[in-house]
Structure 1
Amino acid sequence: MKFSHFIPAVCLLLSVACSNKDSNSLDEHAPETSLADLKVYNGLEVTLFASEPMFSNPTNMDIDARGRVWVCEAYNYRNQFNPKNPVKKEGDRIMILEDTDGDGKADKSKVFYQGTDVNAALGICVLGNKVIVSCSPNVFVFTDEDGDDVPEKKEILFQGIKGVQHDHAIHAFLFGHDGRLYFNMGNEGGLLVDAKGDTVVDVYGNKIIAKGKPYRDGLALRCNLDGSNVEVIGNNFRNNYELTVDPFGTVWQSDNDDDGNKSTRINYVMEHGNYGYKDEITGASWYKRRTNMEKEIPFRHWHLNDPGVVPNVLQTGAGSPTGMSMYEGTMLPEVFQGQIVHAEPGHNVVRAYPIENDGAGYKATIVNILEGQKDQWFRPADITVAPDGSLFVADWYDPGVGGHQMGDVDRGRIYRIAKPKSGYKITPPDVSSPDGAMQALLSPNPATRYIGWSALASFGDQAEGALQKLWTSDQVRHRAQALWLLGKLNNKGDAYISQALADKESNIRIEGIRVAKLLKKDILPIATLLMNDSSVQVRREVALALTGIATADAAEVWAQLAIQYNGKDRWYLEALGIGASKTEDLYFKAWKKKVGTNWNTPANSDIVWRSRSKYAMPLMAELIKASDEKEMLRYYRSFDFQKDPSKQQVLSMLVQQTQGDKVLYALKHMDASKLKMTPPVMNALNKVLDQYAGKIEFVELVSSFKLQSRANDLLQLGILYPDSATGKESIKALLDWNRIDLIDRVLNSKNRDEAQAMIKALWPYMYEKKTIEIMERVVMDSAKEMELRKLAVKTFGGPWESEDRLLTLAKEKKIPITLQAAAAGVFQTAWRSTLREEAAKYLKLPGSKEGASLPTVAVLVEKSGDAVKGKEVFKTVCNSCHRVNNEGVNFGPDLSEISDKLPKEAIYTAILYPDQGISFGFEGWRIKLHDGSSAFGRIVSETEDKIDMQYMNNQQTVLKENIQSRTKLESSLMPSNLQATMTEQELVDLVEYLITLKKKDGSLSLRQ
């Protein structure tokens, strides 16, 4: 589900097809058919554990110590956006599925809980007799005190989380090897509130509000089992769907990009790390221009050129990442043991990511475990490890991957991946003795591991013997599990921590540091001991452990760590930056004293670049003066993260001491509100403004320095370049300055082209109230040209704020009758189906030849037509502009393969509301000639001296020497009332014919 806000058009079409549920579609999507389509890793077997009607739409699952599968259903998923889908008034269910005879198939199911408060829950975690269910705005803890699988208590652990029924809100909890709960929430979560109603304050004294003070967007967190001592361990993710933790305490998770940008990723969550989804300081989106901006979107998306952003382990391209687990079993082949396993519904695949060390961080490759070969409905939403080491996969099974939509409400599958012919008989753990509890601790199943850990913790010193066996074994991951408990033993824990810090295994030394931090030991002696460790990953952990220790001795340790930076390891550089984050000046001065005059080496210049110390800025200025114009950009960008007031003075000196673009960038990175303007700076500013007049740099400086005397210059740029960033940002500055008078002056002028340009420049800002009000005045002004008013109506599409206002105008019957078709087009292309249906109640929709208003597109797509009759309609109505199979007029787009490009719904929309989707290359143009006449149509060819134009069958050649101006039309050249030439049935027949136009084996066929 998430899973993503991207819904391919084909998925919408499939959801319509699915709702019919004829016999063919049932066979095609039957459980046995979808199972046969799956391809599993060589040497493994995939079997169907359970499917509908036992449950449907599984979003998340957990497996208890008895091997039973607990599933969150989402039958009622976002039903406010899916009015066609049925609703369970009783609410969604938490199901328990059980295989009682050990044959690997569930034969028993029961409802643990049902209610509207768990509609489309996105997380479940079974911990003994307690079950944690994540369902924004709440995290519930259900308690089954008597073991009858009926909860006696339902309590709130956390609440107040934003994004109710939003895939980007709170996700599943996980019991970590250290005895804490780990969880995350995406960029819609917003904040965390405790059961008493108070905003949670984390262990660092920060309120958990993801608005940039200090945390942003998606968060990775951990806390004690009772919800106390919450800690944010990473922030600034987009939709970090689920995390997992290895025995050493290393946290891993996936993150989804802004959909369609091929930038999904796997992260190692470095403690206190910023992961770059938004600008760390301003919160600006990743696509907003910035100095030293990455060239490729997958890197730009995460601000990877910015100092203070932790690198990614792996970028996995497009996708919709969801459930994740750490595989600690032995049933699967060695390539999967001790590795991350992950569900990727966007690619119809379950994967593993074998991890390798990469300097102070990690890198990974991809190995597929389970793939859907042809059935694109295979949507693995979660993956969990059973007590016997087999893998269970929850399959949402749907034509889409969520994004607030689903095409099928009834289906859902759970698959088991195991060795061939292996049964599924689970013996519950016996934790009555330390040895039995130790065996439970080693289970690959988190729920079993929790029972073992809890029992060992309760045994106290009596557990030492069993844990000592693990500590001295040759299995390093088992030793790691033991250390978390050994470190807590009375009077003996320190000795085990000391042994860990001296261990030959670097991961054990890392864990030793983490155990000491967990138990609030004095970190400085440990840091001093390990500051020259042979492992750069251990030194990374030492740097992170220094965070907030404001002593001279700690600064010396940090400086010693810093001089070991090799100039290539970004992971290590970021760890150093995080370690100094609360003591920048103290630590930087200690490092500068240590390196002395040798500070200007390639490696040391990185330390300067990454530092947030005020003492780094004069050194960055020296680096800028000595660098070329490409390298200087990274240093100028670093100034954006400096907060000390001395920044303005350093940049002012650069203005006076450099030339060319170095002056421009020094001005760009100043904070005008904190700058004492001097004559040299003012002279330089005016000179640069003259140099860059008409360019985006001019706009940036005028806006940054709030030079309202240049408002008319910005106005002209907006009119001249409405489709470019230069024009749009010029108008944005005028909006910010509230210069509505200048904007209205253009909109009310007699110059039609300038008014149209102004509307286009304003269009991106229709989420703002003042812009909506401006556009509403244009729509309602009957004195203005109809084409301009239609364009203004069109701008209401997209942002929910403007769409909602347009709906209000429709309800209040304020939309003029002549503009209702344009408004209906806006609603028809709106993402929210509820908006489309609501608007249809208040607007007069396009009428047919019979005079009556046509039904909505949603109703039309359900109707069946006659393709043969539709072909005749096409010859009568459409042949004069469009071609099919080399017949017709080549004026509009060729429709020979239209069904390959558009689903049925989109074809209806194109016919009824042509202005909503003008094909590239078929835009209309109006060319004004010097003699006062005009040419109108689409441009079919252009040379240095002439333009050839076409309108339907008519062609015209215009000499460029006669052209005064040309303007691209925002209205389609296709007639806006084409449907009025047909009856409703003829329209349905026409579309039935158009959906048969599909390329097949190199030829066109009419499917009947």
Structure 2
Amino acid sequence: MPSLRVSTHLSRNFSLILFLCVLVGFISSLTLTANSADKSASPKKVDYAAEMKRIPPRAPKDALKSFKIHPDFKIELVAAEPLLRDPVAMCFDARGRAYVVEMSEYNDAHKEGYSSVKLLEDTDGDGVFDKSSPFLTDVTLPTAVFCSQGGVFVGAPPYVYYCKDTNGDGKADVREVVMEGFGRDKGDEGMINSFRWGMDNRIYFSTGIDGGMVTVAAEGPEKQFNTKGRGVILDPATRKIELTTGGGQHGMSLGIWNRAFVCANSVPMQVLMYDDRYIARNPYLAPPPAPVNIAPGGKFTKLMRISQIEPWRILRTRLRAASERGDSEGGKPSGFFTAATGITAYRGDAWPLEYQGNLFVGEPANNLVYRAAPKPDGLSLVAPRADQDAEFLASTDVWFRPVQFENGPDGALYVLDMYRELIEGAPFIPEEILKHIDPIGGQDKGRIYRIVPKNFERPALSDLTKLSSKELVALLDSDNGWTRDTAQRLIYERQDTSVVPDLKQLAAASRKPVTRATALWSLEGLNSLDADTLLKGLKDQDPQVCIQSSRIAERFAKDAQVQQAMIALAGHDSIEVQYQAAFSLGAFENSARNQALAMLLSKNVDNKWMRMAVQSSLNQGAGEVFVLLARNSDLLENKQTQAFLGTLATQIGAQSDVENVKLLMGALESLPQSQQKLAQQSFRNLLSRASTSTKQVLAKSKSEYTAQLLSGMMKSTIEQATNSKLPVKTRVEAIPTLSIGSPDETLPVFEELLSVQQPLPIRQKAITTLGLVNDERVPELLVEAWPGLSPQLRMSAVETLFSRQPWQVALLDAVKAGDINSGDISPERVQLLKSSQDKAIKKRATDLFQNQRLTGRSDVIKQYQSSLKLKGDPANGKLVFKKNCAACHRLENVGVQLGADLKAIKDRGTEAVLLNILDPNREVKPQYVTYLLVTTQGRTITGLIKAENANSITIARADGTSDTVLRIDIDELISSKLSFMPEGLEKQINQQQMADLLAYLNSIR
């Protein structure tokens, strides 16, 4: 189950200096338990059976008595074993029946393929399910389900199936593969999940953390979709897909107005700030990450647990406090988010109106349900705790495991309780504890609850399949989100255009904004929306209707009246409408559109989201918008305006559009003398990624002003970079510009900047910038500076020398000559050289490093078992951390947060940590594999994929820096199949230092 793990995955690093990334190596091998080490070398274990008292499960009726719920509500049991087991997802069909996904295989390391989907029915209408049919059996790790066209889509990675019962026996006799290739995590975590109906007649779902290279049956086997870090949008009619913004681990919900929310183990609530289908239109845009945390307390939000703390948790805490395990962690082993899952926006009508839009998150490790009430925060949201003195729902039963929620046809909120003894992934539990717990305890149990107000009277439910299309249109006016969704879905499936007049009437005259918007989308789904009806939506008094109408208007880009209405929205009072207009205007092409985009930016230039939205619409027209902004003298004083002009200049330089370059140069020449610094910076940006056509325009230019910029730019850059009287930050900002100058002019400057007299940030930036200078003299420059480089700078220099194949040859020459010590090249770098696709480099590296062989992993593991017996000193361990780990991890205000939050390491067993520290490549999870990215300019960047979206990939490098590379600049992206964490750490840290470091990590509060 994707979010059932209490752990948080850690990143890895492949440099020996970045030892702590070893811990990431451990996380990548979580499915390996400590008992795989050589037991003959293991210390004697203590049997804790006496204190590991098992807490028994409760019968469904007794479990119902264990709840403490908000005083205005009550909780009802609607299904339990033996009708179902281990529910992790559900959906209601148009008849009110429930399809429930059962993941019985969770935590079973010995057997798979026996999960299922049950069909539950309430045959007597009392609100309690009393009939269960084995709709789909013998499924492996199913995670999601959604009703469509009389059947269901079922997510069971690597597949998405379409299943249907055609003979009415409650069992699927149709089972078609719709998609294939989704990642399947060996710990049952982070897989595809949360199939949700969108207002645009599409099914949205999350790919979790595992992603995958996916083929779609309707698209053909030759077309693949890289779903890593993405969301999927499925058209149920054509079964074709699009990719959109993704995020989170398990749990994705669409709010009342289709805004997407996600969550992850330690990240309870995030909102996705944009749909990256817009981002993909402009390949020169590298946007900020879409998921934004909206829970003010984040992971460490105080949770008001009312269940007892399980004995095994208490024991694990005590073991961590023991001298051989490290200092006390200084807190109780629960009470904050470690297993956030199933985020869901309430959209029903059974509850009071003020609850609509509230967000609910399950915390199964703490046996409770958390509620937040989102409110606007600029273009984003903030979602503070809604219940101050107690959780909305909590249980004294430690087996209560709320993993997912569903809005029901009766307007209530349904809670899926997996009901397990252990909700953590078994590999996360130390062996001496795990042997006293049944990892699959409760796999024959499971409950579903309904939450309703105390005075709730359950309405009689209709079979919507028996309603006429006209009656379905009337249901779009319902306050219940499930009813609207289902009616809209059925209208889309039927494609009955006889109801078009009724939909138009509803779109124009309904008193409810959400109904007007849903009617508009329903018309669009029937291919029956006319411009006049859409124009009413674009001029609607409600901002949210305007937003939805703007999205539809993109399909009417050639209609003159729609264009005018869209341009008018740039002046709307609502910043949310303006934000959507900034995206949607990208579908239109005329000068008035560019003026509207410039106006949007001028009104919101300090808002990074608005700047991003405007640029997404400027794959065409960037030059004209640059001119419009440059003419606004007041706006030019704003630093964000200046930065945005620089961004546009970089894009214009990279594009092969002569007219845009001429427009930009004309705008620069027109700038007043007081803005010549801005002109120079914009000119630098123009050249930083200049295409051949851009260079040709400048070379042929007879403008005296252009000549002055060309001659003056490098002079001022060199003066700024080398002036020791300037602030270091100012000097560092100038150094990247040196990469676009003539090497004959700039290499002597780099030599000066590499000298030992220069501040560390200056030398660091000079080394990384040299990677952009494609000149054969660069390696010689770095080798000459090598004796004066610190270990951290040597690591950056290795990264630079690895960035181009000819430079790798120079590196090998330097090692052979003794100018670079072979020990400065980390083992994983040596391995990359030995596996190079260039046969000459491969042979030379093999010959040169033939004596550099790592000790067998089993031997090393034996040697370091003694670390578990030694008393660790946290103070000394902190020094070990600072020296070896701080380059990519941050603890107690020391280090750089390149890797993940290491506080989570306290949740692991020390012996298992040690095992996987010393053998990180035993099993590597996909998200922690080292990648080699080769740019179209010939650079090679190696590291961990830290983030990716439709347009760019961010690679975290071993020296603690990172590179964001636009996809249009990527020639190859190759998995090395090696862990981000290197082998061979034992050459840097002895047994006592290992014990000290583990003690320090366990002492962090």
What one-letter code is carried by the residue in structure 1 that aligns with 2:534?
I
CA contact (8 A) 1:94 1:112 kept: yes
Structure 1 spans left out of the alignment, 5+ residues: 202-206, 211-216, 283-305, 794-814, 829-845, 847-856, 858-876, 885-891, 893-899, 918-966, 977-993, 1000-1008
Structure 2 spans left out of the alignment, 5+ residues: 9-25, 36-45, 300-337, 430-438, 654-660, 699-708, 722-729, 837-841, 874-879, 881-903, 921-985
Go from structure 1 to structure 2 and tell me whether the alpha carbon gap of 1:683 and 1:821 turns closer, same or farther (over 3 Å shift): closer
Alignment of 1:602-751 (within 5 A): 602=639, 604-605=641-642, 607-611=644-648, 612-614=651-653, 654-658=713-717, 659-661=719-721, 662=730, 664-668=732-736, 675=740, 677=742, 679-690=744-755, 692=758, 695-705=763-773, 711=779, 725-736=792-803, 737=805, 739=808
What one-letter code is carried by the residue in structure 2 that aligns with 1:494?
A
Go from structure 1 to structure 2 and tell me whether the alpha carbon gap of 1:496 and 1:508 turns closer, same or farther (over 3 Å shift): same
For 1:499 and 1:540, the matched residues in 2 are separated by 20
What one-letter code is carried by the residue in structure 2 that aligns with 1:500?
G
For 1:579 and 1:326, the matched residues in 2 are separated by 30
CA contact (8 A) 2:112 2:140 kept: no
**CA distances 1:809-868 after superposition (whole Å, capped 9, x unpaired):** xxxxxx4xxx74315679x9xxxxxxxxxxxxxxxxx9xxxxxxxxxx9xxxxxxxxxxx
CA contact (8 A) 2:475 2:483 kept: no
How far 1:451 moved relative to its partner? 4.3
What one-letter code is carried by the residue in structure 2 that aligns with 1:335?
E
CA contact (8 A) 1:915 1:971 kept: no
CA contact (8 A) 1:718 1:758 kept: no
Of residues 467, 472, 478, the one that matches 1:437 is 472
**CA distances 1:158-214 after superposition (whole Å, capped 9, x unpaired):** 23444577744533432223322223324542444221563687xxxxx7445xxxx
CA contact (8 A) 2:136 2:171 kept: yes
How far 1:45 moved relative to its partner? 1.9
1:808 matched residue in structure 2 = none
**CA distances 1:283-323 after superposition (whole Å, capped 9, x unpaired):** xxxxxxxxxxxxxxxxxxxxxxx766557362563355543
CA contact (8 A) 1:702 1:710 kept: yes
1:269 matched residue in structure 2 = 274
Go from structure 1 to structure 2 and tell me whether the alpha carbon gap of 1:238 and 1:403 turns closer, same or farther (over 3 Å shift): farther
For 2:342 and 2:482, the matched residues in 1 are separated by 14
1:139 matched residue in structure 2 = 160
Alignment of 1:143-158 (within 5 A): 143-158=164-179
What one-letter code is carried by the residue in structure 1 that aligns with 2:142?
A
Of residues 623, 646, 665, the one that matches 1:585 is 623
**CA distances 1:659-690 after superposition (whole Å, capped 9, x unpaired):** 334565344256x5xx5625433443333233
2:109 matched residue in structure 1 = 85
CA contact (8 A) 1:62 1:126 kept: yes
1:96 and 2:100 aligned: no
Aligned length: 776
What one-letter code is carried by the residue in structure 1 that aligns with 2:745?
P
Of residues 906, 911, 926, the one that matches 2:910 is 906
For 1:52 and 1:313, the matched residues in 2 are separated by 37
How far 1:124 moved relative to its partner? 0.7
For 2:640 and 2:908, the matched residues in 1 are separated by 59
CA contact (8 A) 2:255 2:345 kept: yes
CA contact (8 A) 1:361 1:571 kept: no
Go from structure 1 to structure 2 and tell me whether the alpha carbon gap of 1:476 and 1:448 turns closer, same or farther (over 3 Å shift): closer
Q: Percent identity?
A: 18
Deviates more, 1:464-473 or 1:539-548: 464-473
How far 1:104 moved relative to its partner? 5.2
**CA distances 1:758-800 after superposition (whole Å, capped 9, x unpaired):** 37x446887776499999999995xx9xxxx7xx44xxxxxxx
For 2:182 and 2:115, the matched residues in 1 are separated by 19
Deviates more, 1:453-462 or 1:62-71: 453-462
2:195 matched residue in structure 1 = 173
1:365 and 2:345 aligned: no
Corresponding residue SS for 2:490: helix
CA contact (8 A) 2:735 2:765 kept: no
TM-score (norm 2): 0.63
For 2:510 and 2:916, the matched residues in 1 are separated by 71
TM-score (norm 1): 0.63
1:571 and 2:609 aligned: yes
Go from structure 1 to structure 2 and tell me whether the alpha carbon gap of 1:466 and 1:517 turns closer, same or farther (over 3 Å shift): closer
For 1:544 and 1:104, the matched residues in 2 are separated by 45
**CA distances 1:717-748 after superposition (whole Å, capped 9, x unpaired):** 889878x5423233334445575896799799
Alignment of 1:411-422 (within 5 A): 411-420=445-454, 422=456
1:251 matched residue in structure 2 = 259
CA contact (8 A) 1:137 1:164 kept: no
How far 1:386 moved relative to its partner? 0.8
Corresponding residue SS for 2:261: strand
How far 1:349 moved relative to its partner? 4.9
2:145 matched residue in structure 1 = 124
Of residues 348, 373, 376, the one that matches 1:354 is 373
Go from structure 1 to structure 2 and tell me whether the alpha carbon gap of 1:913 and 1:135 turns closer, same or farther (over 3 Å shift): closer
Go from structure 1 to structure 2 and tell me whether the alpha carbon gap of 1:4 and 1:63 turns closer, same or farther (over 3 Å shift): same
For 1:711 and 1:2, the matched residues in 2 are separated by 46
Corresponding residue SS for 1:387: coil
1:530 matched residue in structure 2 = 569
Of residues 43, 49, 64, the one that matches 2:93 is 64
Go from structure 1 to structure 2 and tell me whether the alpha carbon gap of 1:556 and 1:12 turns closer, same or farther (over 3 Å shift): closer
CA contact (8 A) 1:102 1:424 kept: no
How far 1:105 moved relative to its partner? 4.5
How far 1:379 moved relative to its partner? 4.3
Of residues 492, 509, 517, the one that matches 1:480 is 517
1:460 matched residue in structure 2 = 497
What one-letter code is carried by the residue in structure 2 that aligns with 1:728?
M
For 2:369 and 2:426, the matched residues in 1 are separated by 20
**CA distances 1:101-156 after superposition (whole Å, capped 9, x unpaired):** 555554332211113xx411222101251201122332211122333322232223
CA contact (8 A) 2:263 2:343 kept: no
Of residues 51, 69, 77, the one that matches 1:40 is 69
For 2:712 and 2:426, the matched residues in 1 are separated by 51
What one-letter code is carried by the residue in structure 2 that aligns with 1:251?
R
Go from structure 1 to structure 2 and tell me whether the alpha carbon gap of 1:33 and 1:635 turns closer, same or farther (over 3 Å shift): farther
CA contact (8 A) 1:501 1:509 kept: yes
CA contact (8 A) 2:76 2:450 kept: yes
For 1:324 and 1:533, the matched residues in 2 are separated by 32
Q: Which has the larger radius of gyration?
A: 1
Corresponding residue SS for 1:173: strand
Report 1 or 2 for greater relative contact order, CA contacts < 8 Å, sequence distance ≥ 6: 2
1:758 matched residue in structure 2 = 824
For 2:830 and 2:399, the matched residues in 1 are separated by 37
For 1:765 and 1:6, the matched residues in 2 are separated by 36
Corresponding residue SS for 2:56: helix
Corresponding residue SS for 1:530: helix
For 2:68 and 2:684, the matched residues in 1 are separated by 51
1:337 matched residue in structure 2 = 356
CA contact (8 A) 1:243 1:251 kept: no
For 1:765 and 1:344, the matched residues in 2 are separated by 44
Of residues 309, 315, 323, the one that matches 2:342 is 323
Go from structure 1 to structure 2 and tell me whether the alpha carbon gap of 1:224 and 1:779 turns closer, same or farther (over 3 Å shift): same
Corresponding residue SS for 2:586: coil
For 1:4 and 1:609, the matched residues in 2 are separated by 45
CA contact (8 A) 1:37 1:374 kept: yes
**CA distances 1:339-393 after superposition (whole Å, capped 9, x unpaired):** 4444455776544553434445544434367454676765433211111111112
1:498 and 2:521 aligned: no
For 2:682 and 2:384, the matched residues in 1 are separated by 30
What one-letter code is carried by the residue in structure 1 that aligns with 2:796?
E
For 1:25 and 1:540, the matched residues in 2 are separated by 55
1:952 matched residue in structure 2 = none
